[in-house]
Amino acid sequence: MPQPPTTITDELGIALANLADSATGVLTPTLRLGVTGLSRAGKTIFITALIHNLLTQGRLPGFAPLAEGRFIGAKLAEYPDATIPRFAYEQHLAALTGRPATWPESTRRISQLRIVLKYQSAKWWGGFSGPATLNLDIVDYPGEWLLDLPLLGKSFAEWSEEALARARQPGHADEAGAFLAELDKTDPLKDASDPDAERLAAAFATYLRRSREHGALSTLPPGRFLLPGDLEGSPALTFAPLPRPNQPIRGTSLYTMLENRFEAYKSQVIRPFFRDHFARLDRQVVLVDTLRALNTGPAAVADLETALTAVMACFRQGEANPLLRPFSRRIDRILFAATKADHVHHTSHDRLEAILNRLVANASKRARFAGAETRSLALAAIRATSEGTIREAGETLPTLIGTPQAGEELDGIIYDGKTEIALFPGDLPAKPDSLYEDGKPVALNFLRFTPPQRLDTNADGEVVLPHIRFDRALDYLIGDWMA
């Protein structure tokens, strides 16, 4: 799948925006980091942990600038684009460190934040030039919006054919039945009317929400149907797929109305998002909720792979050219991160990374061919569990120790959100390909845990957020810029 098509106007807008960034960064270079991931992958938690660890110089032995004593400090700064909402770092941190601690709200809109990093360069001239400064711009947006990017290269007829084929697949009756029933009652060649468009769009949006609840991802676009924001109720969100009629299509027909609204969605919603934000990134984190897919079953695993491959095809990847960077940015490093590594024992982390590598194999191969580096890592930006052992039937089993969220259920027990338990999480398969072959979900005791209710503090009294391999992720993403 090619990158989304762009017009000359798009390319000019991208070049001018990059040139403006470069002009303001003559003295202080700027690294734009995109944090993406499909729904519930942990984007908000990742960004909050990233900012907090840099501000407090957290426990990051794998982050070279800090481990080598070259990291001087960090501070939050005003973001240059006053029209973009600020990432609510302070509110998210307050939720994570409150009593009781709670997970922050998921990403529902685009937001950005700038953090200024000061460090001593390790290069030979660093001792003469003094401390260096780097602006780190973090871009956050809902994972559902990612799945819209491939729509830029599709016509209404092509998208409709694919969407209806998925809706009619065996096993989708529960999610898509009501929408397909509405579709069967609709004549695409009838005169266009807003009530008909609204009825179909509402049924289609309900189908998408139900698909998400059952772990489907590639069926989700258009993503704004799930998180409409200030576009709720607008004509740009009032359409649905229709089968292409065999007869001539009148300009006043319902089919033409929905086709025009689909094109408006592409030009007025998706394209500005791609042009103004997505096409101007230097580094990319792709967070993947691998365990949730494993727990749902092989169909969800295959669907996740399909969605990741489609999304990655839209990235502007390749080795950055310093001479062209003032006009054209490329993503030269991509980190694929399997989140929630704290939901399995550390003895399964290697297997979790192997599964992630299998899921992103096609996407990673495409990125490397384009000239970008890739790496896969199992991590937990904020660790919610600790580890221990239990004896059962004469056998010692590795366990996770944590507090399940209120309403979580396992073996007939419904947890209250206050009780700490020891849980044997189960083993991940040694061979990733078996996930596509067995026809059954992986036998995991998968529970959602509350954030850690007891947190350490450093010498300055600042909260320390526990993590798994977060320091390695940070070093890969920005360490070379601070060398």
Structure tokens at 33: 């980091």
Cα dihedral value 82, 85, 89, 90, nearest 10: 80
Helix (H, G, I), strand (E, B), or coil: what is residue 50? helix
Residues 6 or more apart in contact with residue 115 via CB below 8 angstroms: 51, 54, 55, 74, 75, 76, 77, 135, 136, 138
Pairing of the two strands 386-392 and 373-378: unpaired
Contact 215, 228 (CB under 8 A): no
Check residue 232 and give its pLDDT: 79
In three-state secondary structure terms, 106 is coil
What stretches of 98-232 adopt beta strand conformation (E)? 111-119, 132-140
Q: Name every residue whose Cβ is closer than 8 Å to that of residue 196 and which is 6 or more positions away in sequence.
A: 186, 190, 254
Domain assignments of the chain as residue spans, ordered by start: 8-141+277-383+468-482, 150-271, 386-436
CATH 2.30.29.30 given to domain 8-141+277-383+468-482: no
Q: What is the pLDDT along the chain (483 residues), one digit of tens a residue?
A: 455 555 656 555 555 555 555 555 447 899 999 998 877 789 999 999 999 999 999 999 999 999 999 999 999 999 888 888 899 999 999 999 998 999 998 877 889 999 999 999 988 776 677 899 999 999 988 777 877 888 888 999 999 999 999 899 887 888 999 999 999 999 999 999 999 999 999 999 999 988 887 766 666 789 888 877 677 778 889 999 999 999 999 999 999 999 999 999 999 998 888 888 777 899 999 999 999 888 888 888 888 888 888 777 777 777 655 554 554 578 999 999 999 999 999 999 999 999 999 999 988 888 888 888 999 999 999 999 999 998 888 888 899 999 999 999 988 999 999 999 999 988 888 888 877 766 666 777 889 999 998 999 999 999 999 999 999 999 999 999 999
Say what the pTM is.
Answer: 0.86
